[in-house]
Structure 1
Amino acid sequence: MKKIALLLLPVALLSACSGANEPRYLISAPPGERTANLRSRTIEVRQVSLPAYAAGSDIVVQGEGGALFTQDRAQWADDPARGMTSALARGLSERTGASVAAEPWPLNTGPDVRLDVRVDQAYARADGNFELSGQYAVSSPEGTVREFVRRFNIVTPIAGTGAPATADALGRALAELSRQISQAM
């Protein structure tokens, strides 16, 4: 029995050390000013589509050679796609006054508008900026608004160092994306 306990002790110590103290950061955007009164009263935000490196739980940064690395062993507190989807839904609700929800749509009557965001780039660049780029599409199942697809390229400065500054820069980038989408609608 003692031999088994001695053999399991290193495994227990390793599992206790692996990830127990890794910091986790929320994906949230600062509130924004109301920018639009929309014809749409309801908006469904589809799950944000992310590239593989940004869909993982690790916060990634670009190194001097252009490669992406995990930053300070830090992780997102939530699934990045879900976190970004929720932040966009909150931002659009604050800015437009519409009823906004992430998919699946929770009401019996369908939404006036569906928003589909596909991210191409989402990382802390080596030059001290955070890049969030891709495209978004606004569709209208009932034809109540004009449908369109637009590209976005948002670069926000990273004020400070480490994962907290990176998380803050992503939040500001998502707030800007919410502003751009609400103005385009």
Structure 2
Amino acid sequence: MMMTLRPLAAAFALSLGACAELNPPTLHLLPTAPVHAAATDSAVAREQIALSRIALPDYAEDSAIAYLTGATTVARSVDERWADPLARTATAALAGALTARTGALVLAEPWPPEFDPTLRIDVLVDQFVGALGGPVTLSGEVRVADARMRGLAVVRRFDIAAPSGGDGFDGVARAHADAVARLADEIAAALEARYGG
């Protein structure tokens, strides 16, 4: 009897593997959000800014897209995944948006050896998640270190609610991108308030 069951078990395992290959996960890119043009006379445009890789909570570091299923419960989809790590793509998107908004040179980590930034921005995220068909919350703290002052020039909390980008996981991805764009607006405004005068 045991000899009969082994081939059946092996065949069942192979069929499960074939099903998994026939239904690969859907991969989502972080969409490009609209950007606002920089003011040509902005004092911030003279800065060279180093942007550290965004520090995300553990659930957002996984390739599986996280989403809210209740007020305090988060699930990860096995079928819907980020095409690239969210921390990397969100950092790159934030760097591009800050360059567009401020006119400054903003480089995301890793930095070239010859890069000598005047400012360094660290973004520490507490929450970056939303429900399917609902808003995405992006909250945490921004720290701006000034090499000339040898200390922190700006420490600012942020709490952003980006509206739903539509139904399903495409909408979740669009809302994530919108949240990053809104964060760029807030950081650019803080930099302008600190250095634009």
Alignment partner of 1:97 out of 82, 99, 103: 103
For 1:55, the equivalent position in structure 2 comes to 61
For 1:165, the equivalent position in structure 2 comes to 171
In structure 1, how many angstroms separate the alpha carbons of the residues matched to 2:14 and 2:116?
A: 51
For 1:139, the equivalent position in structure 2 comes to 145
Contact 1:156/1:172 (CA < 8 Å) preserved in 2?
yes
Higher helix share: 2
Q: How many residues align?
A: 182
Partner deviation per Cα, 1:126-158 (whole Å, 9 max, x = no partner) = 782110000110111233997111000000111
In structure 2, how many angstroms separate the alpha carbons of the residues matched to 1:146 and 1:70?
A: 36
Change (3 A) 1:82 1:16: farther
TM-score (norm 2): 0.80
Note the C-alpha offset of 1:70.
2.3
Tell me the percent identity: 34
Note the C-alpha offset of 1:119.
0.5
Q: Within the alignment, does 1:174 sit opposite 2:180 as a pair?
A: yes
**SS of 2:178's equivalent?**
helix
Partner deviation per Cα, 1:82-140 (whole Å, 9 max, x = no partner) = 11111111111111111111112215141111110010001113782110000110111
Specify the code of the residue in structure 2 equivalent to 1:31: P
In structure 1, how many angstroms separate the alpha carbons of the residues matched to 2:181 and 2:20?
A: 34
Change (3 A) 1:71 1:44: same
Q: Structure 2 stretches of 5 or more lacking a match?
A: 1-6, 192-197
Q: Structure 1 stretches of 5 or more lacking a match?
A: none
Contact 1:29/1:174 (CA < 8 Å) preserved in 2?
no
Larger RCO (CA within 8 A; separation ≥ 6)? 1
Alignment partner of 1:18 out of 17, 20, 24: 20
Contact 2:51/2:106 (CA < 8 Å) preserved in 1?
yes
Alignment partner of 2:117 out of 102, 111, 114: 111
Specify the code of the residue in structure 1 equivalent to 2:20: S
Shifted more, 171-180 versus 123-132: the winner is 123-132
For 1:125, the equivalent position in structure 2 comes to 131
Aligned Cα root-mean-square deviation (Å)? 2.7
Specify the code of the residue in structure 2 equivalent to 1:18: A
TM-score (norm 1): 0.85
In structure 1, how many angstroms separate the alpha carbons of the residues matched to 2:155 and 2:54?
A: 15
In structure 1, how many angstroms separate the alpha carbons of the residues matched to 2:18 and 2:160?
A: 39
Q: Within the alignment, does 1:78 sit opposite 2:80 as a pair?
A: no
Contact 1:71/1:162 (CA < 8 Å) preserved in 2?
no
Contact 2:50/2:108 (CA < 8 Å) preserved in 1?
yes
In structure 2, how many angstroms separate the alpha carbons of the residues matched to 1:91 and 1:107?
A: 23
**SS of 1:133's equivalent?**
strand
